[in-house]
Structure 1
Protein backbone atom coordinates (compact mmCIF):
# COMPACT_ATOMS: atom_id res chain seq x y z
CA UNK A 1 0.00 0.00 0.00
CA UNK A 2 1.33 3.41 -0.91
CA UNK A 3 1.65 6.01 1.76
CA UNK A 4 1.51 9.76 1.36
CA UNK A 5 3.01 12.50 3.45
CA UNK A 6 1.71 16.04 3.48
CA UNK A 7 4.15 18.91 3.56
CA UNK A 8 4.29 22.65 3.18
CA UNK A 9 2.17 24.97 1.10
CA UNK A 10 3.66 26.92 -1.77
CA UNK A 11 1.02 29.67 -1.81
CA UNK A 12 -0.64 31.53 1.07
CA UNK A 13 -4.08 30.37 -0.11
CA UNK A 14 -5.21 26.96 1.13
CA UNK A 15 -4.93 24.60 -1.87
CA UNK A 16 -7.29 21.76 -2.64
CA UNK A 17 -6.03 18.49 -1.27
CA UNK A 18 -4.82 15.97 -3.85
CA UNK A 19 -7.56 13.49 -4.76
CA UNK A 20 -7.37 9.69 -4.89
CA UNK A 21 -7.59 9.90 -8.69
CA UNK A 22 -4.64 12.27 -8.78
CA UNK A 23 -2.61 10.00 -6.49
CA UNK A 24 -3.51 7.16 -8.85
CA UNK A 25 -2.07 9.20 -11.73
CA UNK A 26 1.18 9.65 -9.82
CA UNK A 27 1.31 5.92 -9.11
CA UNK A 28 0.59 5.08 -12.76
CA UNK A 29 3.29 7.48 -13.91
CA UNK A 30 5.84 5.79 -11.65
CA UNK A 31 4.82 2.29 -12.71
CA UNK A 32 4.78 3.12 -16.42
CA UNK A 33 8.17 4.85 -16.20
CA UNK A 34 9.77 1.79 -14.58
CA UNK A 35 7.98 -0.69 -16.86
CA UNK A 36 8.97 1.24 -19.99
CA UNK A 37 12.62 1.23 -18.98
CA UNK A 38 12.52 -2.51 -18.17
CA UNK A 39 10.96 -3.30 -21.57
CA UNK A 40 13.53 -1.13 -23.40
CA UNK A 41 16.38 -2.84 -21.57
CA UNK A 42 14.96 -6.32 -22.16
CA UNK A 43 14.56 -5.62 -25.88
CA UNK A 44 18.21 -4.51 -26.14
CA UNK A 45 19.41 -7.57 -24.19
CA UNK A 46 17.38 -9.98 -26.35
CA UNK A 47 18.83 -8.45 -29.51
CA UNK A 48 22.43 -8.52 -28.32
CA UNK A 49 22.50 -11.77 -26.34
CA UNK A 50 22.94 -14.22 -29.20
CA UNK A 51 21.05 -16.79 -27.12
CA UNK A 52 17.83 -16.81 -29.15
CA UNK A 53 17.30 -18.65 -32.43
CA UNK A 54 14.71 -16.05 -33.45
CA UNK A 55 15.41 -12.92 -31.42
CA UNK A 56 13.35 -10.77 -33.78
CA UNK A 57 10.14 -12.52 -32.63
CA UNK A 58 10.81 -11.81 -28.97
CA UNK A 59 12.02 -8.30 -29.72
CA UNK A 60 8.79 -7.66 -31.65
CA UNK A 61 6.72 -8.84 -28.68
CA UNK A 62 8.62 -6.70 -26.17
CA UNK A 63 8.82 -3.77 -28.59
CA UNK A 64 5.03 -3.83 -28.98
CA UNK A 65 4.63 -3.68 -25.19
CA UNK A 66 7.18 -0.83 -25.09
CA UNK A 67 5.08 1.14 -27.57
CA UNK A 68 1.95 0.53 -25.46
CA UNK A 69 3.67 1.79 -22.32
CA UNK A 70 5.00 4.80 -24.20
CA UNK A 71 1.51 5.76 -25.38
CA UNK A 72 0.07 5.23 -21.90
CA UNK A 73 2.88 7.27 -20.35
CA UNK A 74 2.12 10.13 -22.75
CA UNK A 75 -1.55 10.01 -21.78
CA UNK A 76 -0.78 9.94 -18.05
CA UNK A 77 1.63 12.87 -18.53
CA UNK A 78 -1.17 14.85 -20.26
CA UNK A 79 -3.54 13.99 -17.40
CA UNK A 80 -0.97 15.10 -14.82
CA UNK A 81 -0.65 18.45 -16.62
CA UNK A 82 -4.43 18.88 -16.85
CA UNK A 83 -4.63 18.44 -13.05
CA UNK A 84 -1.74 20.90 -12.51
CA UNK A 85 0.17 18.02 -10.96
CA UNK A 86 3.95 17.86 -11.33
CA UNK A 87 6.24 15.09 -10.14
CA UNK A 88 9.34 16.86 -8.91
CA UNK A 89 11.53 14.02 -7.63
CA UNK A 90 11.64 10.24 -8.00
CA UNK A 91 13.88 8.24 -5.68
CA UNK A 92 14.31 4.57 -4.98
CA UNK A 93 16.06 2.75 -2.18
CA UNK A 94 15.95 -0.66 -0.52
CA UNK A 95 12.45 0.06 0.87
CA UNK A 96 10.76 1.12 -2.34
CA UNK A 97 9.97 4.03 -4.65
CA UNK A 98 9.28 7.55 -3.44
CA UNK A 99 8.03 10.48 -5.50
CA UNK A 100 7.59 14.08 -4.48
CA UNK A 101 4.93 16.08 -6.28
CA UNK A 102 3.20 19.42 -6.32
CA UNK A 103 -0.47 19.85 -7.10
CA UNK A 104 -2.29 23.21 -7.08
CA UNK A 105 0.12 24.61 -4.50
CA UNK A 106 0.09 21.49 -2.37
CA UNK A 107 3.38 19.61 -1.96
CA UNK A 108 3.47 15.98 -0.94
CA UNK A 109 5.07 12.64 -1.49
CA UNK A 110 4.02 9.09 -2.17
CA UNK A 111 5.98 6.06 -0.96
CA UNK A 112 5.38 2.64 -2.50
CA UNK A 113 7.15 -0.36 -0.91
CA UNK A 114 8.94 -2.71 -3.34
CA UNK A 115 6.75 -5.80 -2.87
CA UNK A 116 3.58 -4.00 -3.94
CA UNK A 117 5.35 -2.01 -6.65
CA UNK A 118 6.96 -5.12 -8.17
CA UNK A 119 3.71 -7.11 -8.04
CA UNK A 120 1.79 -4.36 -9.80
CA UNK A 121 4.58 -3.99 -12.35
CA UNK A 122 4.43 -7.70 -13.13
CA UNK A 123 0.65 -7.66 -13.52
CA UNK A 124 0.78 -4.66 -15.84
CA UNK A 125 3.73 -6.03 -17.81
CA UNK A 126 1.87 -9.30 -18.37
CA UNK A 127 -1.13 -7.32 -19.63
CA UNK A 128 0.99 -5.18 -21.99
CA UNK A 129 2.60 -8.35 -23.36
CA UNK A 130 -0.83 -9.92 -23.87
CA UNK A 131 -0.20 -12.67 -21.30
CA UNK A 132 -2.70 -14.24 -18.93
CA UNK A 133 -2.26 -12.64 -15.50
CA UNK A 134 -2.77 -15.96 -13.70
CA UNK A 135 -0.17 -18.02 -15.55
CA UNK A 136 3.50 -17.75 -14.70
CA UNK A 137 6.55 -19.81 -15.61
CA UNK A 138 8.28 -19.24 -12.26
CA UNK A 139 6.66 -19.16 -8.82
CA UNK A 140 5.44 -15.62 -8.10
CA UNK A 141 8.09 -14.88 -5.48
CA UNK A 142 10.95 -15.93 -7.77
CA UNK A 143 9.74 -14.09 -10.86
CA UNK A 144 9.13 -10.87 -8.96
CA UNK A 145 12.43 -10.88 -7.08
CA UNK A 146 14.51 -11.46 -10.21
CA UNK A 147 13.40 -8.19 -11.85
CA UNK A 148 16.04 -5.46 -11.74
CA UNK A 149 14.69 -2.10 -10.62
CA UNK A 150 16.40 1.11 -11.56
CA UNK A 151 15.62 4.23 -13.50
Structure 2
Protein backbone atom coordinates (compact mmCIF):
# COMPACT_ATOMS: atom_id res chain seq x y z
CA UNK A 1 0.00 0.00 0.00
CA UNK A 2 1.33 3.40 -0.92
CA UNK A 3 0.75 6.50 1.12
CA UNK A 4 1.35 10.07 0.15
CA UNK A 5 2.10 13.07 2.28
CA UNK A 6 1.65 16.40 0.61
CA UNK A 7 3.18 19.66 1.69
CA UNK A 8 1.21 22.45 0.10
CA UNK A 9 3.11 25.34 -1.35
CA UNK A 10 1.69 28.32 -3.18
CA UNK A 11 0.93 26.12 -6.19
CA UNK A 12 -2.75 25.58 -6.91
CA UNK A 13 -2.04 22.59 -9.16
CA UNK A 14 -1.67 19.42 -7.08
CA UNK A 15 0.00 16.27 -8.31
CA UNK A 16 -2.35 13.95 -10.23
CA UNK A 17 -2.86 10.20 -9.83
CA UNK A 18 -1.01 9.67 -13.12
CA UNK A 19 1.93 11.67 -11.84
CA UNK A 20 1.99 9.71 -8.58
CA UNK A 21 1.96 6.56 -10.69
CA UNK A 22 5.05 7.84 -12.51
CA UNK A 23 6.83 8.38 -9.18
CA UNK A 24 5.89 4.84 -8.16
CA UNK A 25 7.12 3.44 -11.47
CA UNK A 26 10.36 5.37 -11.13
CA UNK A 27 10.97 3.78 -7.72
CA UNK A 28 10.09 0.27 -8.87
CA UNK A 29 12.11 0.45 -12.07
CA UNK A 30 15.15 1.87 -10.29
CA UNK A 31 15.14 -0.99 -7.79
CA UNK A 32 14.37 -3.62 -10.45
CA UNK A 33 17.21 -2.46 -12.67
CA UNK A 34 19.68 -2.55 -9.77
CA UNK A 35 18.53 -6.04 -8.75
CA UNK A 36 18.93 -7.37 -12.30
CA UNK A 37 22.38 -5.77 -12.64
CA UNK A 38 23.48 -7.25 -9.32
CA UNK A 39 22.14 -10.67 -10.29
CA UNK A 40 24.14 -10.58 -13.53
CA UNK A 41 27.33 -9.82 -11.58
CA UNK A 42 26.64 -12.59 -9.06
CA UNK A 43 25.89 -15.16 -11.79
CA UNK A 44 29.06 -14.29 -13.70
CA UNK A 45 31.32 -14.44 -10.62
CA UNK A 46 29.74 -17.34 -8.75
CA UNK A 47 31.28 -20.23 -10.67
CA UNK A 48 28.20 -22.28 -9.83
CA UNK A 49 26.64 -22.34 -13.30
CA UNK A 50 27.75 -24.62 -16.14
CA UNK A 51 26.48 -22.08 -18.68
CA UNK A 52 26.40 -18.72 -16.93
CA UNK A 53 26.26 -16.83 -20.23
CA UNK A 54 22.72 -18.13 -20.85
CA UNK A 55 21.44 -16.87 -17.51
CA UNK A 56 23.33 -13.60 -17.81
CA UNK A 57 21.78 -13.10 -21.25
CA UNK A 58 18.29 -13.71 -19.85
CA UNK A 59 18.73 -11.40 -16.85
CA UNK A 60 20.63 -8.81 -18.89
CA UNK A 61 17.76 -8.68 -21.41
CA UNK A 62 15.32 -8.05 -18.58
CA UNK A 63 17.64 -5.34 -17.20
CA UNK A 64 17.63 -3.65 -20.61
CA UNK A 65 13.82 -3.72 -20.71
CA UNK A 66 13.69 -2.17 -17.24
CA UNK A 67 16.26 0.43 -18.29
CA UNK A 68 14.23 1.39 -21.36
CA UNK A 69 11.09 1.71 -19.25
CA UNK A 70 12.99 3.83 -16.73
CA UNK A 71 14.22 6.13 -19.51
CA UNK A 72 10.64 6.58 -20.68
CA UNK A 73 9.44 7.30 -17.14
CA UNK A 74 12.26 9.87 -16.74
CA UNK A 75 11.20 11.58 -19.99
CA UNK A 76 7.61 11.68 -18.79
CA UNK A 77 8.65 13.04 -15.38
CA UNK A 78 10.59 15.81 -17.12
CA UNK A 79 7.72 16.67 -19.45
CA UNK A 80 5.40 17.02 -16.44
CA UNK A 81 7.91 19.16 -14.49
CA UNK A 82 8.10 16.47 -11.82
CA UNK A 83 11.42 15.94 -10.03
CA UNK A 84 12.32 13.17 -7.60
CA UNK A 85 14.42 14.90 -4.94
CA UNK A 86 15.34 11.99 -2.66
CA UNK A 87 14.75 8.27 -2.40
CA UNK A 88 15.14 6.57 0.97
CA UNK A 89 14.51 3.12 2.27
CA UNK A 90 14.22 1.75 5.77
CA UNK A 91 12.80 -1.32 7.48
CA UNK A 92 9.23 -0.20 6.69
CA UNK A 93 9.55 0.55 2.99
CA UNK A 94 10.64 3.03 0.34
CA UNK A 95 10.02 6.77 0.35
CA UNK A 96 10.42 9.32 -2.42
CA UNK A 97 10.28 13.07 -1.95
CA UNK A 98 9.24 14.91 -5.09
CA UNK A 99 8.59 18.37 -6.43
CA UNK A 100 5.84 18.81 -9.02
CA UNK A 101 5.29 22.30 -10.42
CA UNK A 102 6.26 23.77 -7.04
CA UNK A 103 4.16 21.27 -5.13
CA UNK A 104 6.28 19.26 -2.67
CA UNK A 105 5.24 15.82 -1.46
CA UNK A 106 6.23 12.30 -0.45
CA UNK A 107 5.27 8.87 -1.67
CA UNK A 108 5.75 6.01 0.81
CA UNK A 109 5.39 2.37 -0.24
CA UNK A 110 5.58 -0.39 2.37
CA UNK A 111 7.84 -3.36 1.60
CA UNK A 112 5.16 -6.04 1.15
CA UNK A 113 3.40 -4.15 -1.63
CA UNK A 114 6.67 -2.93 -3.14
CA UNK A 115 8.11 -6.46 -3.29
CA UNK A 116 4.91 -7.88 -4.72
CA UNK A 117 4.82 -5.34 -7.54
CA UNK A 118 8.55 -5.73 -8.16
CA UNK A 119 8.16 -9.48 -8.54
CA UNK A 120 5.26 -9.07 -10.97
CA UNK A 121 7.21 -6.61 -13.10
CA UNK A 122 10.43 -8.61 -12.94
CA UNK A 123 8.60 -11.74 -14.06
CA UNK A 124 7.13 -9.81 -16.99
CA UNK A 125 10.56 -8.45 -18.03
CA UNK A 126 11.98 -11.99 -17.82
CA UNK A 127 9.12 -13.33 -19.95
CA UNK A 128 7.72 -15.48 -17.13
CA UNK A 129 4.11 -16.04 -16.12
CA UNK A 130 2.74 -13.21 -14.00
CA UNK A 131 0.00 -15.14 -12.24
CA UNK A 132 -0.45 -13.23 -8.98
CA UNK A 133 -1.18 -16.37 -6.95
CA UNK A 134 2.19 -17.75 -8.05
CA UNK A 135 3.94 -14.55 -6.98
CA UNK A 136 2.33 -14.52 -3.54
CA UNK A 137 3.51 -18.12 -2.94
CA UNK A 138 7.03 -17.15 -3.95
CA UNK A 139 6.99 -14.20 -1.55
CA UNK A 140 6.50 -16.59 1.36
CA UNK A 141 9.74 -18.34 0.41
CA UNK A 142 11.96 -15.57 -0.93
CA UNK A 143 12.57 -12.09 0.46
CA UNK A 144 14.39 -9.70 -1.84
CA UNK A 145 17.41 -8.01 -0.36
CA UNK A 146 17.14 -4.49 -1.72
CA UNK A 147 19.47 -1.60 -1.38
CA UNK A 148 20.33 1.34 -3.56
TM-score between both structures, scaled by the size of structure 1: 0.92
How do residues 34-73 of structure 1 correspond to structure 2 at under 5 angstroms? 34-73=31-70
Unaligned segments of structure 2, at least 5 residues: none
CA contact (8 A) 1:15 1:104 kept: no
Q: Is the 8 A contact 1:85 1:103 kept in 2?
A: yes
**1:1-150 alignment runs, 5 A limit:** 1-9=1-9, 12=10, 14-134=11-131, 135=134, 139-143=138-142, 145=143, 147-150=144-147
Residues paired across the two proteins, number: 145
CA distance in 2, matches of 1:139, 1:87: 31
1:68 partner SS: helix
Q: CA deviation at 1:31?
A: 0.1
Q: Name the structure with the higher helix share.
A: 2
Runs of 4+ aligned residues of structure 1 deviating over 6 Å after TM superposition are: none
Taking structure 2 as the reference length, what is the TM-score of the superposition? 0.94
For residues 73 and 25 of structure 1, what CA distance do their matches in structure 2 show?
Answer: 10
CA distance in structure 2 between the partners assigned to 1:57 and 1:121 by the alignment: 23
Deviation at 1:15, TM superposition (A): 3.0
